[in-house]
Amino acid sequence: MIYFLASSFVLSAAILLFKNKTINFISVVMYLFTLSFFTIFSYIHIGRINSIYFKFDALSILMASMTSIISIGSFYHSFSYLKRKSTSDKQNSFYFASLIMFISAMMSAYYTQNFAVLWVSIEATTLFISILIFHTRTKSSIEATWKYLYISSIALAISFIGILFLSIIANSNGIDNLNMKTLIVASKNIDSMWLKVAFILITTGFSVKINLFPFHTVAIDAKTILASPINALMSTALVNVGFVGAFRVFTIISQTEILHWAQHILMIVGVVSILITVIQITRVKRLKRMFAFSSMEHMGLVFLGLAAGGIGYYGAIMHILFHSLIKAGLFFQLGSIRSFYKSIWIKDNGQYFRLNNWGGLALIVGVFSILAFPITGLFITEIMIFKSLLMGGYYFVSIFVLTLLSIIIFIVVRNTFHLLYGTVEKTMIHKNIKPNYGETATQFVLFGLTIYLGIAPPACFTKLIEATISVLN
Amino acid sequence: MTYLFIILYATTLIYFSLAERVKKFDWLLAIQGVLLFGIVFFDMQKIDTLNFIFILTETILVKAITIPWFLNKIRKRNNLKRKHEVFIPVFYSVIITIIIIVGSFLISSHFHDSKLNTKYFSISFASIVFGIYFIIIHKNIFSHVVGYLIIENGIFLLSLAVGSEMPMMVNLAILLDVLMGVLVLGIFINHVGDTFKSIEITQLTDIKD
């Protein structure tokens, strides 16, 4: 892990030092190679401790795999995006250097088993993503950067207080570190009040990354103006970072008698988040904002899966993985859509199917996948989550959430079909823009992968999910 | 001696609610940094050189010198003089601050947990709650960063209260992260000031649909 982080730092430094297109390209290719190699390496050495604070466990490998796949797409789309924007070499260098460090900080957060290192890694992601939000240097991007940076800092300060309360558990058992394994053992001999306080504070703080109530607003604002290739990572890999943090604390709690209390908290957060999504999504006027709220809805469902337990655990982990692939594909497609129109508002975007038929098809497949239509991966995971809710006797919650999901489906479909077939003034459409079929192909790969993993998951994939949830209880 | 520093720290919180000039915020932050050093130094059972250097760096170098100096530069660049933008009058703020401090001490007195050092817990809790209150009552983003730093100082005291024994490397990384965060926040205050011609939070409403 240390070598991976060091190589990321060296490649970022090289990009910043030379500020040259060729160096950017070579460094990015080398980084992607290192990232992929490291992910495979961690899978081969599963279960091993690495560089003191890190461990190759099933959850981290799953998350790292998703990040590696999405990162390839993100870098590929970034080159097209920067070409369209005609930004300077200096700006491009900052963009790629920050992107490399951002991905590496996320990888560090996935693999670490130490809560203090986890917090440091998550704080580092805030700094690097802030630079990327600021990249366009418009009035909106400055506003979004300020809000994200500031509220994230406050939220992470809250989570740090929670981590300090976790250290009470460690100290009372004579432990001088905040490693997961030792905390799990120690949690059995501690007054549950400290664990409850720690859980509430850490989950609240990390909600800024998970894109859930109560700190969801700044992430939504940032995603509204963020470049699509970065949005694809922020809405997926970064959301997963927050989830990993919350899941680690949940793992400790699952070994204690306060598990049911924690599950009720997760259920409240999940339902409130989906409810807020419905309230907000009825008012959205931009596609990026609509899909940002869609992430909030899906993370709410993931929390409901954890709250229900049993098969819900399995559904929750699968759901977050499939959501990552689909949402990344959709944001890549939104980048292509943006290049065809002069306006960002939904009302000014239409006739997309005529302008880019393959892109339109990718959008339809992506939207049907994210709305969990049958045969897509999310359809299977949502069935698992609702099955576990019904088996747990949460009938009212299930019906209420299903009603909310129906409203979301209606609004997303309405806005998507307006984009595909709605009439708009010709002045709103850029002339002479040609569809990029290479970009569209990457989206089909991501959507296809979720269908394949949902219908016929390979043994290694299911084993990793089973290993992830086996640590609960 | 530690109690004296804790009382002085509580006094700085009252001064924060009293201060009319933004310049005083920088000074009060610097004083808090020195007081934090005093609290840790007089509580140390034995003086370990490496630990001493780390605490000296964290409290004096970073909290008492670097951050106030940097904030002072930002204050001058954005021509901030009087705060004049609080939602609540100073008189009521002082009363609320005293209630926060007294309330924190009363809450702490109810804890009888051997793992929690209540003398630190009470002042850390007061500092964190006051920091949040400070952010809520101010309109400009410079004061919001000051509020964030008051919360950070409260968290530092909380780490003493829970007797956190994190390894030096992790402590250093956390310190570096916070320092970087403040520096980046500071730089963005300048960007907001240049772009919006004001650093009032009411100006930042462009993104909402």
Task: Taking each helix axis as running N to C, give the angle between helix A459-470 and helix A311-340, from 0 to 180 degrees, rounded to the nearest 10.
Answer: 120
Q: B179: pLDDT confidence band, cut at 50, 70 and 90?
A: confident
pLDDT tens, residue by residue, B88-98: 888 899 999 99
DSSP per-residue letters across A151-218: HHHHHHHHHHHHHHHHHHHHHHTT--S-BHHHHHHHHTTS-HHHHHHHHHHHHHHHHHHHT-TTS-HH
Please answer whether residues B146 and B25 qualify as being in contact, where contact means their C-beta atoms are separated by less than 8 angstroms: yes
Does residue B130 register a pLDDT over 70? yes
Please answer whether residues A198 and A158 qualify as being in contact, where contact means their C-beta atoms are separated by less than 8 angstroms: no
| Among candidates A117, A127, A284 on the partner chain, residue whose Cβ is nearest the Cβ of B184 | A127
| Distance between CA atoms of residues A177 and A157, nearest Å | 19
pLDDT tens, residue by residue, A427-438: 888 888 888 888
pLDDT for the residue B101: 94
CB within 8 A of B13, min separation 6: which ones? B97, B100, B101, B126, B127, B130, B150
Average pLDDT over residues A20-26: 92
Average pLDDT, chain B: 85
CB contacts < 8 A (A, B): 114
| Residues in B lying within 8 Å of A, measured between beta carbons | 113, 115-116, 128, 135, 141, 144-145, 148, 151-152, 155, 158-159, 162-167, 170, 173-174, 177-178, 180-181, 184-185, 188, 191-192, 195-196, 204, 206-209
pLDDT for the residue B110: 78
Average pLDDT, chain A: 92
CB atoms inside a 10 Å sphere around CB A153: 26
A292 φ/ψ sector (left φ>0, alpha ψ -120 to 50, else beta): alpha
pLDDT for the residue A128: 93
What is the residue whose two structure tokens read 């956190």? B164
pLDDT tens, residue by residue, A357-416: 999 999 999 999 999 999 899 999 999 999 999 999 999 999 999 999 999 999 999 999
Q: Considering its fold, how many domains does chain B have in total?
A: 1
Sign of the C-alpha dihedral computed for residues A14, A15, A18 and A21 taken in this order:
positive
Residue numbers in A near B192 (CB within 8 A): 142-143, 146
pLDDT for the residue A92: 92
pLDDT for the residue B202: 76
Tokens of B88: 């609540």
CB within 8 A of A371, min separation 6: which ones? A378, A408, A409, A412, A413
Average pLDDT over residues B170-175: 74
CB contact under 8 A, A123 and B151: no
Does residue A213 register a pLDDT over 60? yes
Enter the pTM of the model: 0.92
Q: B165: pLDDT confidence band, cut at 50, 70 and 90?
A: low
CB within 8 A of A233, min separation 6: which ones? A67, A70, A71, A74, A99, A102, A103, A106, A328
Residues in chain A: 473
CB within 8 A of A361, min separation 6: which ones? none
Full residue range of the structural domain in which residue B56 is found: 2-206
pLDDT for the residue B41: 86
* Lowest mean pLDDT segment, chosen from A37-51, A64-78, A291-305, B33-47: B33-47
CB within 8 A of A197, min separation 6: which ones? A162, A165
**Cα first-last separation, chain B:** 55
Which helix (H) or strand (E) segment is A293 a member of?
Answer: helix A287-308
What is the complex's ipTM, to 2 decimals?
0.88
